[in-house]
Amino acid sequence: MRVDLLTIAPPTLAAVPETNDIPAPPPRWVWPARGTITSTFGRRWGGFHNGLDIANAAWTPIYAARAGTITEAGWCRGYGYCVKIAHDSGLATVYGHLIDQPIVARGDAVAAGELIAYMGSTYDRAGGGYSTGVHLHFTVTLNGSAVDPLRFLP
């Protein structure tokens, strides 16, 4: 390639307007709720805990941790009220033990940080679920297998 094609003449460069109103890129991951981590991913009570528990008061807002599409919203086996979101690159997130029916519906597109539900303590004993208090159970899966959410959260 010719070098003279790679340079811009100073008068031409000076005529290009400058801008500072470029929008910030959207966040990739955000924390799904504020609160205290009460249980981490891994071995727990002689079993395996496939997510992260974040405790706070009832009705604490829960947000989509990453942009995606709602695949399930309502009563979920084991979790009580829950939301499940499919993301790109084989990732999915689960938000369990919500206080009530979520405010999103299956098929909705959500942005990272968008309100999706509120924290509670519902669970489905018949489906193998249990909850000892108000918290969000947050699971991240990669190609269907649970992975430590702390690997992704900022």
Show the domains of the chain with their CATH numbers.
26-151 (2.70.70.10)
Instruction: Quote the mean pLDDT of the chain.
Output: 90
pLDDT per residue as tens digits for the range 104-128: 999 999 999 999 999 999 988 887 7
Q: What is d(CA 66, CA 43) in angstroms, rounded to the nearest whole number?
A: 26
Those residues whose C-beta lies under 8 Å from the C-beta of residue 99, and which sit 6 or more positions away, are 58, 59, 81, 117, 118, 119, 120, 121, 122, 134
More reliable by pLDDT, 15 or 55: 55
Pair 143, 104: CB distance under 8 Å: no
Q: What is d(CA 24, CA 90) in angstroms, rounded to the nearest whole number?
A: 25
Residue 1 has pLDDT above 60, yes or no: no
What is the pLDDT at residue 2? Answer: 63
What is the pLDDT at residue 127? Answer: 79
Residue 55 binned pLDDT confidence (cut-offs 50, 70, 90): very high
Q: How many alpha carbons fall within 13 Å on the CB side of residue 67? A: 6
Indicate if the alpha-carbon torsion angle 28, 31, 37, 38 is positive or negative: negative
Q: Please tell me the pTM assigned to this model.
A: 0.81
Q: What is d(CA 102, CA 95) in angstroms, rounded to the nearest whole number?
A: 10
Angle at 83 between CA 82 and CA 84, to 5 degrees: 125
Residue 143 has pLDDT above 60, yes or no: yes
